[in-house]
Amino acid sequence: MEIIKEASPHIRRRDSLNRMMVDLLIGLSPVLVFAFAVYQLAAVRNLFVSVGAMVAAEFVYVLIVNRLPKDGKKHSLGEKLRYGASHYRLSNFLVPTVSGLLYGLITPACFASVWTGSYWAVANPYNPLTDGYAYFVLIAGALFGLVVGKLVFGGTGHNIFNPAAAGFIFAKECFGSRYRVANYFDVYFNNITDVQTGGTFLNGSYSASASYSNYSLLDLLLGRTPGLMGEVCKVAILIGLAYLLIRHTIDWRITLSFLGTFVFLMFFAGLVVNSKDASIGVFPFVGYQLLSGGVLFGAVYMITDPVTSPMTSPSRVLYGTIIASSTVLIRLLGRSDYVKEGMCFSILLGNMVSPALDYYKWSTSKFTVKNLIPMVVIPLVALAVILWALGVSLPIVSSGSGSSSAGGSSASGSTSSGTDASAGGTTKAVIAGLPFLRGWL
pLDDT digits (tens, 9 = 90+) for 27-50: 999 999 999 988 888 888 889 999
Same domain, 263 and 370: yes
Which H or E run contains 198? Answer: strand 197-198
Last residue of a domain, one of 172, 203, 234: 203
Given a cut of 70, whether residue 123 has pLDDT beyond it is no
Same domain, 19 and 158: yes
Is 218 part of any domain?
no
Is 236 part of any domain?
no
Contacts of residue 328, defined as CB under 8 A and 6 or more positions apart, other chains included, come to: 261, 262, 265, 266, 269, 342, 382, 386
Is 311 part of any domain?
yes
Same domain, 21 and 157: yes
Is 134 part of any domain?
yes
Which H or E run contains 437? Answer: none
Contacts of residue 264, defined as CB under 8 A and 6 or more positions apart, other chains included, come to: 379, 383
Which stretch of 5-14, 263-272, 415-424 has the lowest confidence by average pLDDT? 415-424
Same domain, 199 and 308: no
**Where is pLDDT greater, at 31 or 394?**
31
**E-strand spans in 221-301?**
none
Contacts of residue 34, defined as CB under 8 A and 6 or more positions apart, other chains included, come to: 223, 232, 233, 236
Same domain, 374 and 439: yes
Nearest Cα to 304, choosing from 91, 102, 122, 70?
A: 102
Residue 86 domain boundaries: 13-203
Contacts of residue 222, defined as CB under 8 A and 6 or more positions apart, other chains included, come to: 233, 234, 235
**Where is pLDDT greater, at 3 or 154?**
154
Query: Cα separation of 88 and 101, whole Å?
Result: 20
Same domain, 197 and 272: no
Q: Beta-carbon neighbour count of residue 179 at 10 Å?
A: 22
pLDDT digits (tens, 9 = 90+) for 77-94: 888 888 888 888 998 999
Same domain, 81 and 186: yes
Same domain, 170 and 41: yes
Please tell me whether the peptide bond between 96 and the residue prior to it is cis, using omega within 30 degrees of 0: no
Given a cut of 80, whether residue 422 has pLDDT beyond it is no
Is 4 part of any domain?
no
**Where is pLDDT greater, at 266 or 414?**
266
Same domain, 173 and 270: no
* Number of compact structural domains in the chain: 2
pTM of the model: 0.78
Residue-level pLDDT at 142: 94
Same domain, 281 and 401: yes
pLDDT digits (tens, 9 = 90+) for 294-304: 899 999 999 99
> Helix 234-246 to helix 17-39 angle, to the nearest 10 degrees?
160
Same domain, 150 and 260: no
Last residue of a domain, one of 165, 180, 203: 203
Q: Parallel, antiparallel, or unpaired: how do β-strands 113-115 and 181-182 relate? A: unpaired
Given a cut of 70, whether residue 377 has pLDDT beyond it is yes
Is 384 part of any domain?
yes
What percentage of the chain exceeds 70 in pLDDT? Answer: 70
Mean pLDDT of 418-427: 33
Query: Cα separation of 151 and 136, whole Å?
Result: 21
Query: Cα separation of 280 and 431, whole Å?
Result: 10
Contact 291, 215 (CB under 8 A): no
Query: Cα separation of 175 and 145, whole Å?
Result: 15
- Sign, Cα dihedral of 317, 322, 325, 330: negative
Is 230 part of any domain?
no
Is 293 part of any domain?
yes
Quickly state the pLDDT bin for 358 (edges 50, 70, 90): confident
Given a cut of 60, whether residue 103 has pLDDT beyond it is yes
Nearest Cα to 131, choosing from 200, 65, 178, 168?
A: 178
Same domain, 25 and 137: yes
